[in-house]
Amino acid sequence: MGGGSSGILMMVFWVIMLCHCLPLYLNLDLNLYAVAVPTTEESEEEFQQQLRRAVDVKGGPDSIVWVVQLSDLHFSVHHPDRALDFKDFVGPALSFINPSLVFITGDLTDGKSKDLLTMKQNEDEWLEYHNVMEDVIKRSRLDKTLFFDLRGNHDNFGVPQLGGSFDFFSKYSISGQLGRRRNVNSVTLQTGDRKHLFVGVDTTMSVGLRGPTNLFGHPTDQLLAELDTHLSQWDSRSQEPLSKISFGHFPLSFSVTSNSGKSLKDIFLNHSISAYICGHLHSRFGRNLKRRHQLSRHFLSLHKFFQLNVHQPYFHSAVNCSTEAPAAKEFWEWEMGDWRRSRAMRILAIDRGHVSYVDIDFKSGIKKTIILPTFPLDSRFMSTSSSHHEYECHDMVPLSYGTVRALVFSVSPIASVTTKIYDSRPGFLNLVFEAPMQMIGDNTSRGDLYVAPWNHRAFEDPVPSRYWLQIEATDFMGRSILSDLRPFSVNGLTTMTSWTWKEFMVMGCQWDALYYPMLWCAVYFILSILLIPKAILTFSVRHFTYKNKGFVSAVGLVFQELCRLPVAWFGFLGYLFYLILFPWFTGQVFTDSKDKGYMTYMGWVVKSFSQKGKHEYVGSPDVMVVVLPHLVFVVFPALFLTAALATEKQISREHFLSVTGKKEDDYGPEEKRSLWYDYSGNRRSNSGVGNRWIRNVLLVLCLAVCWKHFMNCRTLIKAYEMNPILHFPGYSLAIPLLLAYTAYKTRSV
């Protein structure tokens, strides 16, 4: 078949495929920026009354409060051990920790099938969560109003409308039962003359898609305005010391900007909160999922896209000790481990404005004693520029610098607590300070705070990791426990810490900002390797041959030979335009609904339940988990292997002709057909050219690409209940057909 007719047939094929998708696509009344805003029965007056209401913390010690965070419980009907361990460990632990608040930051249930491919709500899991939490509250002897739980993406899989029949969070969660209907809720704790403001934010999709394309937090402008209101509720009383903590499910690396371009990070920086605590990522990505955010004043800063290490590059400037000096625009982001596998729990304390935490691992069973050093702070993950400001402004150093302090929680009475400080300068940890600690408080105290006087000036040093702190506690049974060693810096300096590559990928990369640059780079790259060699072959008299040396010549030869297979060339070009211009597939995006959605590279197009049947885009950049792997691991490898097969055929032909001393025209039709049997059979040709082993390797790689594509299609079929022939024929069939055609056309030389 001639090149022209082959190209025409391929274009006819793509016209048929587009005609299959076009009616679906044109039927959509698209509203790109529509956002479904959940309604609430709470009046604005009741909302305002909720603000500026402080809860007095009863009992000492007056200088400190502590809260507990749990995250990513993933209660599942397929893994009952998660709920059983939670009931056995968390209730008793909370009873002796006695926190002022308990935060459960999302992914309360799993919402996955046993094979992990179908993701939608399961009411049995929510019933289990409800029953377990009732038991935990009873065993902890804490008031139910102290518990704040919020949605994660798993709690929103396939929920078409907040407050609808499949919004089990509103029905079974603690927040739902207590009438916390808004996406932002806050509580203020009052101890002595200091306030501690905690603000929870739920940024899950207003229209909950099934996974895997439900991965990001989606704050709206309305939500950000409400968050700003909550965080500023005490700003008019600036003379009172105030600490601000926010909690949510999604890390900022997995949170998108609003329609106006604002983000959670902008709000947090504007209010200089102490920390944002979250979940979502789980411990499998690393234990070092922390990030320090600072305001960047560079317009072209790359921090919009990524941050290379835990700490942004920071240069200390002259410190302004004026009481009117603005607060530093910075905050910490601390992701915690998951309960799902790690059985993790976090205790976070605020001691005279100094925020510290300790993570507990229940995989080995219940903990009988827990130690949380509250001062001095860990210079790796807790120190801020405000700490350095306090050190430089000597007249403003608080009285808190005069003692080493630690909270000790224990089932058994504590006999003694000792603080130890080590000097690492000799090359090993040399004990330089050891002192007994005394408990502050009495039997009416909420918890046991131990203090030890010290001369903090003796530990001033320009190296923030020189001195290391450890606390040892011994109970009346003689059991001793040590806290983890942690570096500290009285100077308020920061010990720089690096991420592993996995930690960088999930915490350092701002995927919302990176998605479209990565997408268009991939598209333009594939388009260039299709069009540039075609243009050279068409308009230039100089062509690449296998005799040319150099990497560029080799690459040019490979993709030049692809142009000599017009059906394959037009096929890949048409497929690329198909992926850009038309829906990829249609599928079931909600838990149980007759309405289907259509996915493009810009997101899913679904019917809005809050805008009278109009359609809207949702799930961007969540769809990147489908789009980018398909382009990078399927389309480009398939294109390269197609070009490589065409090149291998051409090189084999030229090599055969060179060793036989004949031209291609010297062979008749029968002789040309015999070349195939000579090259592919067990017998060698008389020319001395052996079997085409490179072709065999390329064919194996083609099978690998097809297998990868098949597994992707299988995942999508299970996730969205689709038929590959009816719901996504172009996506599912084009690559295997193009590879099969290429293998057939290059079978002989």
pLDDT 10s digits, 671-703: 554 544 444 444 444 333 457 788 999 999 999
CATH of the domain at 254: 3.60.21
Asked whether residue 551 falls in the same domain as residue 502, the answer is no
Residue type, 125: E
Q: Which two tokens stand for residue 19?
A: 């005609």
Residue-level pLDDT at 301: 67
Q: What are phi and psi of 194, to 5 degrees?
A: -120, 140
Cβ atoms of 459 and 421 within 8 Å: the answer is yes
pLDDT band for position 551 (cuts 50, 70, 90):
low
Where is the domain boundary, 443, 478, 507? 507
Number of folded domains that form the chain? 2
Handedness of CA 119, 122, 128, 129 (dihedral sign): positive
Q: Mean pLDDT over residues 427-437, rounded?
A: 95
Burial of residue 478, with CB atoms counted within 10 A of its CB: 0-12 exposed, 13-18 middle, 19 or more buried: exposed
Q: Which of 38-52, 325-339, 634-648 has the highest mean pLDDT?
A: 634-648
> Is pLDDT above 80 for 250?
yes
- Supply the pLDDT for residue 493: 87
Q: What stretches of 181-262 adopt beta strand conformation (E)?
A: 184-191, 194-201, 242-248
- Residue 108 CA to residue 47 CA, distance in Å, equals 26
Q: Are residues 522 and 503 in the same domain?
A: no
For residue 82, what pLDDT is reported? 97
Residue 38 clears pLDDT 90, i.e. is over it = no
What integer pLDDT is reported at residue 528 of this predicted model? Answer: 92
In the prediction, which pLDDT does 661 show? 63
Same domain, 710 and 628: yes
- Planar angle of CA 162, 167, 168, nearest 5 degrees: 150
> pLDDT > 70: what percent of the chain?
81
**264 and 122 together in one domain:** yes
Res 615 pLDDT > 60: yes
> Which residue reads 């739902």 in tokens?
176
What are the C-alpha distances in Å from 126 to residues 8, 73, 343, 450?
Answer: 56, 12, 19, 41
* Shared domain check, 290 and 251: yes
pLDDT surpasses 70 at 397: no
Is there a single domain that holds both residue 184 and residue 271? yes
Query: Mean pLDDT throughout 384-399?
Result: 63
431 lies in a domain?
A: no
Backbone phi, then psi, for 382, in 5-degree steps? -125, -20
In three-state secondary structure terms, 351 is strand
Q: Which of 251, 252, 253 is nearest to 280 (CA)?
A: 251
d(CA 447, CA 57): 12
Give domain status of residue 437, yes or no. Answer: no
- Residue 566 domain-assigned (yes or no): yes
Does residue 67 sit in helix, strand or coil? strand
For strands 101-105 and 147-150, give the pairing: parallel
**Mean per-residue pLDDT, 488-506:** 92
The string of pLDDT tens digits covering residues 278-319 is 999 999 899 899 999 988 766 556 778 989 889 876 555 556
Assess whether 503 and 548 both reside in one domain. no
Residue 415 counted as domain residue: no
Q: Tell how far CA 3 is from the center of its chain.
A: 47
Is 602 strand, coil or helix? coil
Higher model confidence: residue 674 or residue 547? 547
Expressed as residue numbers, the domain containing 566 is 514-660+693-746
**Checking DSSP bridges between strand 597-600 and strand 603-607, what pairing results, if any?**
antiparallel
Of 507, 537, 562, which residue constitutes the final position of a domain?
Answer: 507
Q: Output the CA torsion 540→541→546→550 (10° steps).
A: -60
In a domain, 669, yes or no: no
Domain membership flag for residue 416: no
pTM: 0.88
SS3 content of the chain, % helix, strand, coil (to 5): 40, 20, 40
On whether residue 57 sits in a domain, the answer given is yes
**Torsion (CA) 543, 549, 550, 555 in degrees, nearest 10:** 40
Tokens 């001691």 belong to 351
SS3 604: strand
* Same domain membership, residue 568 and residue 503: no
Asked if residue 621 has a cis previous peptide bond (ω within 30° of 0), the answer is yes
Q: Report the pLDDT value the prediction gives residue 178, as an integer from 0 to 100.
A: 94
Comparing C-alpha atoms, which of 371, 554, 528, 381 is closest to residue 450? 371
Confidence of residue 320 (pLDDT cuts 50, 70, 90): low
User: Residue 50: which H helix or E strand, with range?
Assistant: helix 44-50
Residue 315, both tokens:
């240069």
What pLDDT score was predicted for residue 78?
Answer: 96
The pLDDT of 82-90, averaged and rounded, is 96
Cβ atoms of residues 249 and 278 within 8 Å: yes
Least confident of 79-93, 160-174, 374-388: 374-388
Tens-place pLDDT, residues 132-155: 999 999 999 999 999 999 999 999
Does one domain contain both 501 and 603?
Answer: no
Asked if 502 and 622 sit in the same domain, the reply is no
The domain boundary residue, chosen from 507, 539, 571: 507
The reported pLDDT for the residue numbered 318 is 59
Sort strands 194-201 and 242-248 into parallel, antiparallel or unpaired: parallel
At 364 the pLDDT is 86
Query: Is residue 385 located within the same domain as residue 518?
Result: no
Burial class of residue 426 in the structure, from the number of CB atoms within 10 Å of its CB (0-12 exposed, 13-18 middle, 19+ buried): exposed
**CA separation for the pair 620, 604 (Å, rounded):** 8
Residue 14 belongs to some domain of the structure: no
Please report the pLDDT score of residue 670 as a whole number. Answer: 54
**Residue 42 pLDDT level (bands cut at 50, 70, 90):** low
Q: Is the pLDDT of residue 50 over 70?
A: no
Residues 128 and 203 in one domain: yes
Question: Is 349 buried (19+), middle (13-18) or exposed (0-12) by CB count in 10 A?
Answer: buried
